[in-house]
Structure 1
Amino acid sequence: MVTVPNPSHRPAFPLALGLPLALVTGLVLPLQGRINGALAVKLEDGITASVVSFTTGLVVIAAISLATPKGRSGLQSILPAVRNRSFPPYYVMAGAVGAFFVFAQSFTVGLLGVALFTVATVTGQTLSGLLVDRMGIAPGGKRSITGVRVLGSVLTVAAVAWAVSPRFGGTADVGALVLPVILPLVAGFLMSFQQAMNGTATVHYGTPIAATLVNFLAGSLVLWVALLIKLAVAGAGNPLPSEWWYYAGGPLGCIAIGLAALLVRSLGVLVTGLGMIAGQLVGSLVLDVVIPTAGTVVALPTVLGTLLTLAAIVVASLPWPRGSFPGRPGAKGR
Structure 2
Amino acid sequence: MNQTASPALRPGTKLAYLIIAVATGLLMPIQSRVNGALGVQLDDPFAAALVSFVVGLVALTLIHLVFPGPRRAAQSIPRVIAQRRFPWWYLGAGAVGAFVVVSQSTAVPIVGVALFTVSLVTGQTMGSMVVDRFGFGPAGPRKISALRLIGALLTLVGVLWAVSPRIITDVELGSLLFPMIFTLIVGVLMGYQSASNGVQAQAYGNPLTATLMNFVVGTLMLGLILLVRLPLVSTDGAFPTGWWYYIGGLLGCVFIGVSAFMVRHLGVLFTGLCMICGQLLGSLLLDVVVPTAGSQIGFATVAGTVLTLLAVGLASVSGGGSAKTRRR
Q: Is the 8 A contact 1:14 1:266 kept in 2?
A: no
| 1:93-108 paired onto structure 2 within 5 Å | 93-108=92-107
SS in 2 for 1:14: helix
Call closer, same or farther: CA 1:71–1:237 in 2, change over 3 Å. Answer: farther
Q: Is the 8 A contact 2:127 2:188 kept in 1?
A: yes
Call closer, same or farther: CA 1:206–1:296 in 2, change over 3 Å. Answer: same
How far apart are residue 279 of structure 1 and its match? Answer: 0.3
Partner residue, 2:76 = 77
- Whole-Å separation in 1 of the counterparts to 2:109 and 2:168: 13
Partner residue, 1:228 = 227
Partner residue, 2:326 = none
SS in 2 for 1:113: helix
Call closer, same or farther: CA 1:181–1:244 in 2, change over 3 Å. Answer: closer
Call closer, same or farther: CA 1:238–1:18 in 2, change over 3 Å. Answer: same
- Whole-Å separation in 1 of the counterparts to 2:174 and 2:29: 29
Q: Is the 8 A contact 1:10 1:140 kept in 2?
A: no
| 1:211-290 paired onto structure 2 within 5 Å | 211-290=210-289
Q: Is the 8 A contact 2:25 2:255 kept in 1?
A: yes
| One-letter amino acid of the structure 2 residue matched with residue 51 of structure 1 | L
How far apart are residue 11 of structure 1 and its match? Answer: 7.8
Call closer, same or farther: CA 1:276–1:77 in 2, change over 3 Å. Answer: same
Call closer, same or farther: CA 1:242–1:174 in 2, change over 3 Å. Answer: closer
Partner residue, 1:202 = 201
Partner residue, 2:323 = none
Deviations 1:235-270 (A, max 9, x none): 423221222111111111101110000000000000
| 1:103-114 paired onto structure 2 within 5 Å | 103-114=102-113
Deviations 1:187-228 (A, max 9, x none): 111101100000000001010111000001111111112222
TM-score (structure 1 length as normaliser): 0.90
Call closer, same or farther: CA 1:228–1:10 in 2, change over 3 Å. Answer: farther
What percent identity do the matched residue pairs reach? 47
Q: Is the 8 A contact 2:35 2:105 kept in 1?
A: no
Partner residue, 1:303 = 302
TM-score (structure 2 length as normaliser): 0.92
- Whole-Å separation in 2 of the counterparts to 1:247 and 1:65: 21
Partner residue, 2:5 = 7
- Whole-Å separation in 2 of the counterparts to 1:235 and 1:183: 23
Partner residue, 1:312 = 311
How far apart are residue 169 of structure 1 and its match? Answer: 4.8
SS in 1 for 2:26: helix
Q: Is the 8 A contact 1:45 1:237 kept in 2?
A: no
How far apart are residue 171 of structure 1 and its match? Answer: 5.1
Deviations 1:286-328 (A, max 9, x none): 111111122211111111111111001011121359xxxxxxx
**Which runs of 5 or more structure 1 residues have no equivalent in the other structure?**
322-334
Deviates more, 1:94-103 or 1:271-280: 94-103
**Which runs of 5 or more structure 2 residues have no equivalent in the other structure?**
321-328
- Whole-Å separation in 1 of the counterparts to 2:159 and 2:318: 23
Deviates more, 1:55-64 or 1:176-185: 176-185
Give 1 or 2 for the bigger CA radius of gyration: 1
Asked if 1:140 corresponds to 2:139, the answer is yes
Call closer, same or farther: CA 1:170–1:27 in 2, change over 3 Å. Answer: closer
How large is the RMSD of aligned CA atoms in angstroms? 1.8
SS in 2 for 1:168: helix
- Whole-Å separation in 1 of the counterparts to 2:233 and 2:146: 51
| One-letter amino acid of the structure 1 residue matched with residue 293 of structure 2 | A
Partner residue, 1:42 = 41
Partner residue, 2:182 = 183
Call closer, same or farther: CA 1:301–1:45 in 2, change over 3 Å. Answer: same
Deviates more, 1:288-297 or 1:102-111: 102-111
> How many residue pairs align between the two structures?
319
